[in-house]
């Protein structure tokens, strides 16, 4: 029999709202090939990733930060012990977050991203030829600096002259700015009660802070957490129902993200109609975006807005 596999846990509290066990190893920086990173998804469910090694670890004022080299998903960013994005499939999450609102907007020029410290949301927004400026506002400078250094896929975005990088609380930053935006993006932790981002998912915030900072045909979009058959009631349903109280037109859409081990959800909203046909969306992808999208097209987007019976009735 071979040597027993080593389990590697990072403590903390997640954007995804699941608990994490803790079991520190003495050689965190150089795990052998039998090491595993493990999250507890629920009391009776665990999700494990086989590791090549731990590439880097640090602690900021707000959270623990780690970059793992996993066998299945490549480099993975972990904050407070929870997977935030993985090299092989992060494009799914970020294409879904950014491109639907920008493609539904007639001519997006200015975008404000709340959170998004890893730079991937900004990277996708900057693919749009019409874009004049992308403001990315993240509260944790350590995360931004860490991702700028270690996430090579986003280095070009971080150095783009159209990117305005701000280290601040997103609510405070939006409140103090006099300008308005075509699209405002919420790339934030889930609204866990007493969590750091809870106030950024309230009706009051949407109504008094976000909406007044949108141009007349502006669009708001936010990640909305797990949207699976067993997990949609954690935050997805409440986010959707809250936004419906503030905006006239609201669309929820979902898809599966392998490294998250669940279906994920987003909610897009505006006071102007959001619907464009699949063919028109494909035309806009071709004419408006530099480079090729790996996941999103018109037919997929329209199918993603159809919820199953259980989720649609919640």
In the set 187, 194, 271, 290, the catalytic residue is 187
Q: CA 74 to CA 54: how far, in whole Å?
A: 11
> Which is nearest to 100 in space by CA: 298, 244, 272?
298
Residue carrying structure tokens 């493609």: 103
Q: CA 161 to CA 266: how far, in whole Å?
A: 28
Beta bridge partners of 257: 262
Beta bridge partners of 57: 66
Report DSSP letters for 99-118, one per residue: HHHHHHSSS--EEEEEE-TT
> Which is nearest to 237 in space by CA: 171, 302, 310?
310
Tokens of 139: 């509260």
Tokens of 137: 């506002």
CA quadruple 93, 248, 164, 64: dihedral sign: negative
Angle, CA 260 vertex, CA 59 and CA 18 arms, to 5°:
60
Q: Is 262 a catalytic residue?
A: no
State the DSSP H helix or E strand holding residue 226, giving kind and residue range, or none if neither: strand 214-226
The catalytic residue positions are 187
């Amino acid at each position: 029999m071979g040597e027993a596999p080593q389990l590697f846990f990072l403590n903390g509290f997640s954007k995804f709202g699941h608990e994490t066990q803790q079991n520190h190893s003495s050689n965190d920086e150089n795990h052998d090939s039998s090491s595993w990173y493990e999250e507890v998804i629920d009391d009776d469910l665990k999700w494990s990733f086989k590791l090549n090694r731990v590439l880097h670890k640090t602690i900021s004022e707000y959270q623990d930060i780690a970059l793992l080299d996993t066998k299945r998903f490549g480099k993975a960013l972990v904050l407070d012990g929870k997977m935030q994005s993985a090299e092989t499939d992060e494009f799914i999450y970020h294409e879904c977050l950014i491109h639907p609102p920008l493609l539904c907007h007639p001519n997006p020029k200015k975008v404000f991203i709340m959170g998004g410290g890893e730079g991937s949301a900004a990277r996708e927004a900057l693919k749009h030829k019409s874009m004049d400026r992308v403001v990315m506002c993240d509260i944790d400078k350590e995360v931004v600096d860490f991702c700028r250094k270690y996430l090579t896929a986003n280095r070009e975005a971080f150095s783009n002259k159209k990117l305005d990088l701000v280290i601040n609380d997103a609510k405070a930053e939006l409140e103090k700015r006099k300008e308005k935006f075509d699209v405002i993006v919420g790339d934030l932790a889930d609204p866990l009660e007493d969590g750091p981002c809870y106030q950024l998912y309230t009706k009051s915030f949407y109504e008094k802070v976000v909406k007044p900072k949108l141009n007349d045909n502006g669009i708001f979009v936010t990640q909305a957490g797990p949207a699976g058959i067993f997990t949609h009631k954690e935050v997805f349903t409440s986010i959707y129902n809250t936004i419906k109280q503030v905006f006239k037109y609201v669309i929820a859409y979902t898809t599966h993200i392998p490294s998250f081990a669940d279906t994920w959800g987003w909610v897009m909203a505006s006071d102007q109609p959001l619907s464009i046909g699949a063919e028109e969306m494909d035309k806009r992808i071709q004419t408006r975006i530099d480079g090729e999208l790996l996941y999103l097209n018109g037919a997929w987007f329209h199918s993603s807005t159809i919820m199953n019976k259980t989720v649609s009735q919640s």
